[in-house]
Amino acid sequence: MRPKRRRSRQRRGMTGLGDWIDETGWRLKKSRPSALSPSASGRASEDETRKQTAEAFIMEVGLFQTMLANAKGLILAALVSLGCWVIYTLYFHPLARIPGPKWWIISRIPYFRSITTGQFIHSVRALHERYGPVVRLAANEVSFTDPQAWQDIYGHHGGDRAFPRNPVWYQPALNGVHHILSASNSDHARIRHLLSHAFSERALKSQEPMIQVFFNLLIERLRPLADGRQAININDWLQYTTFDITGELEFGESFGCLEKGEYHPWIKVLLSNFRKIILFGASQLIPGLRFLVGLTIPKAVMQQRQQHFSYTVDKVSRRLARGNDPMRPDFLTYINRYNEDEKKGMSRAEIDSTFNVLVIAGSETTSTCMTATLHCLLRNPATLQRLQTEIRSTFAHDSDITFDSTIPLRYLNAVIEESLRLCPPAPTMLPRVTPAAGAYVCGYWLPGGTAVEISQYAMSRSYDNYSDPDRFIPERWLPDEKPNFHPHDARAHKPFSFGPRNCLGRSLAWMEIRCIICKLLWNFNLRMESPDYEWNEQGTYVMWDKKQMLVSLTPVKR
């Protein structure tokens, strides 16, 4: 009989519940070969064995049915719970009054996809155009383009009413110590107070001779390339300059980028890590995803991060070992001086972690602004011509271009302001969370722990804040020349952020941008060699993921 059963089973195949039952019955019978043998005990014994086999079979089927019923029950319970959560989140949550896309509100998937593909600023702008100046981006996250949000979120509140930074996006350095960007409000105030001495107007004036060396070196390195035939990536040269200046100011020695005409290997690692930073940060938004992302990151990447931090530590150690040079003041000159005079100074670990992030914060954003300014000028020949006239009629010699002499140039300042508006160096969100007690933002009550932010790009491109927001119109910053259109809302323009955590290097950035733009346009005529280059087509991963912007140079004839 066994062969017959085996053939029958083979014909049917092992699919579905019926096949599982057949297989179970066969396995139970096979486990009792002596009971299935008629010669062993006679017909009575065989009947008893069959009865026991049937009972065992029924018990196993019953167990399976129970497990199946329990699984169905769990699935049903999960679906009911999910449905209740969706209904609550959309209609009864404290943020339910705030408009926003339902799919974004109930799922982090579109948010995650948008931010990891570099399209977040464009997505957020589109959502604000559809839903208004206050948009709910997730179950517990709200974005604003209402200028009042600057004061409500980032202004001076003090004590428990201050909005702390969102810990999802601000992590400590590899030594486990928070830096100036991620520190708590109290620690940030202490660190900022020490660094403020290095960024004061007086300190910058004392550092100008050293900074001018790099301005002049940039022009010197570009002269052999200014034959009108070579196309150079101007963004690279601007970054060489700002990174060299930052290296000199932080560590007392440059990275040698301008001298060699290439990026220092350490800088290459820095610039290649922005996508990984965004991916790792965004992975925390979806439970369990950070662990999986961590498994996919190659060991080489983690080693690069460690090497990068170790390089910072080594640079700081070498600088501290040399001591202060009164003829070459840098950031550590002022930190060391006031660390001794003030009880609440910076620890060595805080110096390491803070200087690690200042390399990027002090270089990438400034070079981005200059690249964006040149892009806007080369796309608008009339504006470029007017600025060239202002610069070349103001300065008789290249050496006349200084920090102070460039401040009065009205049209230059207007051009830079408009570039900062159209192409903000930090275009993505400035993430905060509401204080534990909750807070009002733009008239909406937000419970404690709500993620809030302003997208600089969406704010600057809002039709509620600017007339013709996508057009490059420097004249909008010149009240006596403003075209006959609805005036912009000046409260919206905060390219260096706002409040107690605004950009500490704002004055230095303005000095660098003014002087370098002036020197470039005083010495050279520039022509765009990348006809298809469009700024807005670039992705954003913390910073702009800048493509090559090729230009050709010819010397100005005098």
Half-sphere exposure of residue 536: CA atoms within 13 angstroms, side-chain side: 14
Residue whose tokens read 């001076």: 156
| Pairing, β 451-454 against β 141-144 | parallel
257 is in an annotated binding site: no
Nearest to 170 by CA among 180, 155, 157, 162: 180
Nearest to 365 by CA among 542, 176, 533: 542
Backbone phi and psi for residue 319, each to the nearest 5 degrees, phi listed first: -65, -45
Residue 62 parent element (H or E): helix 38-87
**Which residues, in sequence order, are CB contacts of 144 under 8 Å at separation 6+?**
133, 134, 135, 153, 441, 442, 452, 453, 454, 459
**121-152 as b/e: b if 16+ CB within 10 A:** bbbbbebbeeeebbbbbbbbbbbbbbbbbbeb
Report how far residue 124's alpha carbon sits from residue 462's, in angstroms, rounded to the nearest whole number: 11
State the burial class of residue 432 (Cβ atoms within 10 Å of its Cβ: 0-12, 13-18, 19+): buried
Return the number of other C-beta atoms located less than 10 Å from residue 304's C-beta.
Answer: 19
DSSP 148-172: HHHHHHHS---GGGS--B-TTT---
Backbone phi and psi for residue 233, each to the nearest 5 degrees, phi listed first: -80, 100
Report how far residue 280's alpha carbon sits from residue 277's, in angstroms, rounded to the nearest whole number: 5
- Per the annotation, binding residues are 503
- Per the annotation, binding residues for heme are 503
